[in-house]
Amino acid sequence: MCGLTGFLGGLAQNASAQATIVDLMARRIRHRGPDDGGVWTDPDAQLALGHRRLAVVDLSPAGHQPMSSATGRYVIAFNGEIYNHLDLRADLRKRGQAPAWRGTSDTETLCAGLEVWGVQGTLERTLGMFAIALWDRETRTLTLARDRVGEKPLYYGWQGSGRSAVFLFGSELKALRAHPAFAAPIDRDALCFYMRHGNVGGAHSIYRGIHKLPPGSFLTVSRDTPEPLVCTYWSAGEAAERGKAEPFAGSAVEAVDALESLLKDAVGRQMMADVPLGAFLSGGVDSSVVVSLMQAQSTRPVKTFSIGFHEAAYNEAVHAKAVARHLGTEHTELYVMPHEAMAVIESVPRLYDEPFADSSQIPTFLVSQLARQHVTVSLSGDAGDELFGGYNRYQLTATLWQKLSALPSPLRQALAWGVTRFSTKSLDALALRVPGAARWASVGDKLHKGAGVMAARSVAELYLGMVSQWTDPAQVVLGASESALPLLGGQPRLEGLSDVERMMALDLLTYLPDDILVKVDRAAMALGLETRVPLLDHRVVEFAWQLPLQYKLRREGKGYTTKWALRQVLDRHVPRGLIERPKMGFGIPLGDWLRGPLRPWAEDLLRESRLQGEGWFNAAPIRQKWAEHLSGKRNWQHPLWCVLMFQAWLEEQTSSAGERR
Residues 6+ apart with CB under 8 A from 278: 302, 303, 304, 305, 371, 374, 375, 377, 378, 379
**Measuring CA to CA, which residue among 54, 34, 40, 53 is closest to residue 6?**
40
Q: What is the pLDDT of residues 502-561, one digit of tens each?
A: 999 999 999 999 999 999 999 999 999 999 999 999 999 999 999 999 999 998 877 789
Query: Which pLDDT band holds residue 634 (cuts at 50, 70, 90)?
Result: confident
Angstrom distance (rounded) from CA 517 to CA 388: 17
Mean of the per-residue pLDDT values for the chain?
Answer: 91
Q: What is the pLDDT of residues 197-215, one digit of tens each?
A: 999 999 999 999 999 999 9
Residue 199, helix vs strand vs coil: coil
Query: Which pLDDT band holds residue 437 (cuts at 50, 70, 90)?
Result: low
How crowded is residue 86: how many other Cβ atoms within 10 Å of its Cβ?
Answer: 14
488 DSSP 8-state letter: G
Angstrom distance (rounded) from CA 33 to CA 527: 9
Residue 661: the pLDDT is 38
CA torsion 412-417-420-422 (nearest 10°) is -110
Residue 166, helix vs strand vs coil: strand
- Interhelix angle 252-270/538-546, rounded to 10 degrees, is 170
- Interhelix angle 517-525/361-372, rounded to 10 degrees, is 40
Identify the residue with better confidence: 401 or 497: 497
CA distances from 454 to 68, 366, 460, 471 (A): 58, 38, 12, 12
Angstrom distance (rounded) from CA 427 to CA 422: 7
Residue 331: the pLDDT is 98
Is the bond preceding residue 492 a cis peptide, omega within 30 degrees? yes
Angstrom distance (rounded) from CA 577 to CA 571: 10
Residue 11: the pLDDT is 83
Q: What is the pLDDT of residues 110-123, one digit of tens each?
A: 999 999 999 999 99
pLDDT at 293 over 70: yes
CA atoms in the 13 A half-sphere facing the CB of 11: 7
Residue 419: the pLDDT is 73
Q: Report the DSSP pairing between strands 303-309 and 330-336.
A: parallel
CA distances from 294 to 1, 327, 377, 388, 592 (A): 20, 10, 13, 20, 38
CA distances from 510 to 125, 193, 197, 294, 468 (A): 25, 12, 10, 29, 13
Residue 104, helix vs strand vs coil: coil
Residue 311: the pLDDT is 77
Q: What is the pLDDT of residues 419-432, one digit of tens each?
A: 777 777 677 777 66
pLDDT at 285 over 50: yes
Residue 132, helix vs strand vs coil: strand
Query: Which pLDDT band holds residue 584 (cuts at 50, 70, 90)?
Result: low
Q: Which residues of 612-621 are buried (b: 16+ CB within 10 A; e: fewer)?
A: eeeebbebee
Instruction: Enter the pTM of the model.
Output: 0.93
Side by side, which strands form the sheet with 303-309?
Answer: 330-336, 303-309, 277-280, 377-379, 530-532
**Measuring CA to CA, which residue among 209, 518, 214 is closest to residue 354?**
518
Residue 429: the pLDDT is 73
Q: Report the DSSP pairing between strands 217-221 and 141-146.
A: antiparallel
pLDDT at 433 over 70: no
Q: What is the mean pLDDT of residues 40-55?
A: 96
Residue 398: the pLDDT is 85
Query: Which pLDDT band holds residue 231 (cuts at 50, 70, 90)?
Result: very high
One-character DSSP codes across 15-83:
HHHHHHHHHHHHHTTGGG-BSEEEEEEEGGGTEEEEEEE---S--SGGG-SSEE-TTSSEEEEEEEEET
Residue 493: the pLDDT is 80
Domains of the chain: residue spans and CATH = 2-234 (3.60.20.10), 237-389+501-578 (3.40.50.620), 589-661 (no CATH)
Q: What is the pLDDT of residues 135-179, one digit of tens each?
A: 999 999 999 999 999 999 999 999 999 889 999 999 999 999 999
Residue 435: the pLDDT is 60
Angstrom distance (rounded) from CA 375 to CA 301: 13
What number of H helices and E strands is found in the chain? Answer: 27, 19
Q: What is the pLDDT of residues 324-362, one digit of tens each?
A: 999 999 999 999 888 888 899 999 999 999 999 999 999
pLDDT at 659 over 50: no
The torsion angles phi and psi of 215, rounded to 5 degrees, stand at: -55, 150
Q: What is the mean pLDDT of residues 399-404?
A: 81
What does R_g of the chain's alpha carbons equal in angstroms?
25
Q: Name the percent of the chain lying above pLDDT 90.
A: 77
Residue 397: the pLDDT is 86
Residue 457: the pLDDT is 77
Angstrom distance (rounded) from CA 279 to CA 613: 46
**Measuring CA to CA, which residue among 590, 591, 588, 589 is closest to residue 632?**
591
pLDDT at 439 over 60: no
Per the CB < 8 A criterion, the answer to whether 364 and 516 are in contact is no
